[in-house]
């Protein structure tokens, strides 16, 4: 919407991954390491295809037994017909595992552009699209590839590229554009919906500059953005006038416009009023749509690794989303000045299944114990499972509430709708997002702020049945006396919340009142000690306050607000 989404996390991926089975490799993968293969994935309408400027290198990279320029294409080893169902998925998995190196493959499907090449896609019974990456050998420029969404037949050789990533290498003369198939995204199909109305449901949004997310559109004019890395996002309302959509971010009252500039059944392209272009692919009904976030899959990977290594888990577990939505999870320790990799898991975000660095199958969901924990379509107000370690300590040790100081926040960041991504960056940089599984969309919009406050706190009450009320702290600077002012936040269910407050280093400008399930109330003024820079928890009433701040990872002014 009006604010920019954060930059895509692509540092761990070399190859653009494909819908379905994808080829990928970590940039810092050790020499001789086989790139992790991917399992099924949902489709994307990808960005501009890179020009094949290094055709000779590509030909050299196709280091199977057969050179694509000298191969005998009259002898086909594998044929994948159009609408083959799972056959294309099984082929891709086997290809990435090295089963078809040097083999001649003939495949018919729908062409889609990719940053590193092109994709051969086929529709599956569940409505998704699956496929693999192929590279055009000796292409003069990107336009040598067939048009996006065209029905094509290709014949090529499975070869191994840089970092052992496997592709199908195809000569231009072995690319045939098929005619007369309405499933190929023909012009007739494009004209069926001349006003470009997006059907209600979930759309996968990709671009060259933002991480993947999902847009949900409902019949009642409501919707929400769901970020794939954290599993939830920001609600919005929308209205439509022809191809133009006007959005209102629910928490912000902020309007922004986008226009549907192309639309062909389940694929669309939209342009925001600031010039950003995103590609959309329809995923299905919002009611049945579920997925595992990067954060959840990272936790599952820890459990899976520990179960196979006598309980040991590497110190660092990074879960990153590639440009096609696949999750590459890197488990490693930092030893001196280098990383010691435990494993790489490349998994599907919908099933949690995939492969490890050696191509062995992994099932992270099985390790985690239950598919019922899937977070994609969960109610953002449902806090079950979040803050579990903190809640346990609060209950066992008799703390009334817990507080985590996150550090500096820009004074202008007062609206979670407009400033949500900036606040999420603070949560991530301080380790709070991972440790507490919290972000600006969860719990809901529980965010309280004073206009010019520059300190950010996370407040976690012990009793869900209790209440949290936050007042302005009115200060008489002549007498230094404090009194309660207007209520700026009131929560009946004592859910965790983020609090932005304090302009002055001398006086706190809010009062937090916590009421437990028995009706006992306690007032606390958030304050940082000038002596040691830590949260002041001492109080005259001797109420126990749990400080779980990580003082080594406080946010600072270097985090630039988004928007």
User: What is the chain's mean pLDDT, rounded?
Assistant: 75
| Residues 548 and 535 sit within 8 Å (Cβ to Cβ) | no
3-state secondary structure of 399: coil
pLDDT tens digits for range 20-44: 333 333 333 222 223 333 333 333 3
519-530 average pLDDT score: 90
Q: Is the pLDDT of residue 406 over 90?
A: yes
Round to whole Å and give the CA distance between 90 and 53: 31
- Residue 294 token pair: 């990067």
pLDDT tens digits for range 251-264: 445 568 888 888 77
Q: Is the pLDDT of residue 531 over 80?
A: yes
**pLDDT band for position 105 (50/70/90)?**
very high
Round to whole Å and give the CA distance between 276 and 257: 11
Which class in CATH covers the domain with range 55-182?
mainly beta
Computed from CA positions of residues 90, 94, 95, 100, in that sequence, does the dihedral angle turn out positive or negative? negative
| Residues 286 and 216 sit within 8 Å (Cβ to Cβ) | yes
pLDDT tens digits for range 199-252: 899 998 887 766 678 888 988 888 888 877 766 667 778 888 888 888 876 444
Q: Is the pLDDT of residue 499 over 90?
A: yes
Q: What is the pLDDT of residue 430?
A: 93
Q: What is the pLDDT of residue 303?
A: 83
Cβ-in-10-Å burial (0-12, 13-18, 19+) of 46 comes to buried
| Other beta carbons within 10 Å of 534 | 12
Beta-bridge mates of residue 401: 461, 545
Beta strands in 369-453 (DSSP E): 401-408, 447-449
Q: What is the DSSP letter of 450?
A: -
372-401 average pLDDT score: 61
Better pLDDT: 63 or 263: 263
Domain ranges of the chain: 55-182, 188-283, 294-373, 388-547
Q: What is the pLDDT of residue 414?
A: 87
Q: Is the pLDDT of residue 193 over 60?
A: no
pLDDT tens digits for range 320-347: 876 666 789 999 988 888 888 999 999 9
Round to whole Å and give the CA distance between 6 and 400: 36
Q: Is the pLDDT of residue 448 over 60?
A: yes
Q: What is the DSSP letter of 144?
A: G
DSSP alpha helix (H) spans, 158-274: 187-191
Q: Is the pLDDT of residue 476 over 70?
A: yes
89-101 average pLDDT score: 87
237: part of which helix (H) or strand (E)?
A: strand 233-241
Could you name the CATH architecture of 188-283? Beta Barrel (2.40)
| Residues 454 and 409 sit within 8 Å (Cβ to Cβ) | yes
| Residues 522 and 400 sit within 8 Å (Cβ to Cβ) | yes
Round to whole Å and give the CA distance between 296 and 197: 34
Q: Is the pLDDT of residue 99 over 70?
A: yes
All residues at 6 or more sequence positions from 31 whose CB lies less than 8 Å from its CB, including other chains: none
Q: What is the pLDDT of residue 35?
A: 30
Q: What is the pLDDT of residue 378?
A: 34
CA-angle at 68, arms to 66 and 69, nearest 5°: 115
Q: Is the pLDDT of residue 86 over 90?
A: no
Q: Is the pLDDT of residue 5 over 50?
A: no
Q: Is the pLDDT of residue 359 over 60?
A: yes
Q: Is the pLDDT of residue 159 over 50?
A: yes
Q: Is the pLDDT of residue 479 over 60?
A: yes
Beta-bridge mates of residue 236: 223, 249
């Amino acid at each position: 919407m009006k604010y920019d989404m954060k930059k895509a996390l692509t540092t761990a991926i070399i190859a653009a991954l494909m819908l379905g089975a994808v080829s990928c490799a970590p940039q810092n993968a050790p020499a001789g390491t086989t790139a992790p293969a991917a399992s099924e994935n949902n489709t994307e309408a990808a960005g501009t295809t890179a020009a094949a400027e290094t055709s000779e290198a590509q030909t050299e990279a196709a280091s199977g037994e057969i050179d694509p320029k000298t191969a005998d294409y009259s002898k086909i080893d594998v044929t994948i017909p159009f609408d083959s169902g799972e056959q294309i998925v099984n082929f891709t998995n086997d290809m990435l595992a090295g089963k078809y190196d040097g083999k001649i493959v003939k495949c018919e499907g729908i062409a889609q552009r990719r940053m590193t090449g092109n994709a051969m896609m086929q529709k599956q019974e569940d409505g998704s699209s699956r496929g693999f990456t192929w590279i055009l050998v000796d292409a003069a420029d990107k336009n040598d590839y067939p048009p996006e969404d065209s029905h094509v037949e290709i014949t090529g050789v499975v070869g191994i590229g840089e970092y052992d990533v496997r592709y199908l290498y195809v000569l231009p003369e072995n690319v045939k554009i098929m005619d007369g198939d309405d499933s190929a995204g023909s012009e007739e199909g494009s004209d069926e919906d001349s006003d470009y109305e997006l059907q209600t449901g979930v759309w996968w949004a990709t671009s060259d500059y933002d991480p993947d997310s999902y847009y949900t559109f409902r019949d009642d004019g409501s919707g929400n953005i769901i970020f794939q890395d954290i599993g939830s996002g920001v609600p919005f309302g929308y209205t439509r006038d022809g191809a133009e959509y006007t959005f209102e971010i629910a928490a912000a009252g902020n309007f922004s416009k986008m226009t549907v500039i192309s639309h062909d059944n389940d694929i669309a392209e939209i342009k925001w009023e600031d010039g950003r272009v995103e590609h959309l692919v329809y995923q299905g009904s919002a009611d049945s749509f579920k997925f595992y976030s990067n954060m959840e899959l990272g936790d599952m990977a820890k459990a899976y690794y520990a179960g196979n290594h006598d309980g040991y888990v590497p110190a660092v577990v990074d879960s990153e989303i590639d440009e096609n939505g696949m999750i590459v999870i890197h488990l490693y320790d930092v030893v001196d000045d280098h990383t010691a990799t435990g494993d790489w898991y490349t998994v599907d975000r919908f099933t949690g299944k995939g492969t490890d660095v050696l191509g062995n199958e992994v099932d992270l969901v099985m390790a985690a114990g239950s598919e019922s924990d899937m977070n994609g379509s969960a109610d953002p107000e449902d806090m079950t499972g979040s803050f579990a370690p903190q809640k346990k300590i609060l209950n066992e040790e008799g703390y009334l509430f817990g507080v985590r100081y996150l550090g500096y926040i820009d004074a202008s960041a007062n609206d979670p709708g407009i400033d949500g991504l900036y606040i999420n960056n603070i949560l991530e940089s301080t380790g709070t997002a991972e440790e507490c599984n919290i972000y600006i969309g969860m719990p809901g919009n529980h965010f309280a702020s004073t206009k010019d406050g520059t300190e950010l706190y996370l407040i976690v009450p012990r009793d869900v049945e209790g209440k949290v009320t936050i007042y302005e702290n009115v200060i008489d600077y002549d007498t230094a006396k404090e009194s309660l002012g207007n209520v700026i936040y009131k929560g009946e269910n004592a859910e965790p919340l983020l609090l932005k407050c304090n302009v002055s280093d001398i006086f706190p400008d809010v009062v937090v009142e916590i009421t437990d399930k028995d009706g006992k109330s306690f007032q606390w003024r958030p304050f940082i000690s000038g002596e040691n820079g830590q949260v002041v928890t001492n109080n005259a009433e001797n109420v126990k306050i749990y400080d779980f701040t990580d003082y080594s990872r406080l946010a600072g002014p270097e985090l630039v607000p988004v928007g």
